[in-house]
Amino acid sequence: MDIKRESTVVQRSVEDLSQEDHTLIQYAGEAADRAYAPYSNFRVGAALELEDGTIVSGNNQENAAYPSGLCAERVAVFAAKANHPNTNINKLMIVVKTEKELKQGFTPPCGSCLQVLWDVQNRQQSYISIHIQASDGAVYSVQNVNQFLPFGFEL
């Protein structure tokens, strides 16, 4: 038996986004500005929109004792679940600020972040859409975490 899963990533202009998405980009960009990334100079900001409209942001936090730092996406998810444990996450906006050239134009969440998002999505039994603003301003979107992580770890 063959199992086939495909991903669809949609590229949109920032002008095509809703006002809510513009607000999320602003929060994620401000979070990226506050990131602690002296080693990689790869600043990432994440902003989550909860089902009640609350926005929770996070940023990457590096540490000299690598890999003790944490990615922006997990900082935001853990803050949201610590402070709003019974409120679903609807949407995640990511902004990356770096001087490095990104091979595919945008940077999706790492595998660890995707696994955390996959687990939360399954627990809450509703999709979390992911939107990533590229350095050129374009926004790349997927409808749910499964588009980036089709086979998450589950017990």
Q: What is the mean pLDDT of residues 105-127?
A: 95
Q: Respond yes or no: is residue 73 known to be catalytic.
A: yes
Q: How far apart are CA 148 and CA 43, in angstroms?
A: 21
pTM confidence score: 0.94
Question: Where residue 105 sits, what CATH number does that domain have?
Answer: 3.40.140.10
Say how many domains are in the chain. 1
Look up residue 107 and give its two tokens: 């940077």
Q: How far apart are CA 92 and CA 74, in angstroms?
A: 11
Residues 41-79: pLDDT tens digits? 999 999 999 999 999 999 999 999 988 999 999 999 999
Q: How many Å is the Cα radius of gyration of the chain? A: 15
Q: What is the mean pLDDT of residues 9-25?
A: 93
- For residue 1, is it within any domain? no
- For residue 103, is it within any domain? yes
Of 80, 150, 70, 65, nearest to 120 by C-alpha is 80
Range of the domain at 97: 10-147
DSSP 110: P
Catalytic residue among 30, 62, 73, 154: 73
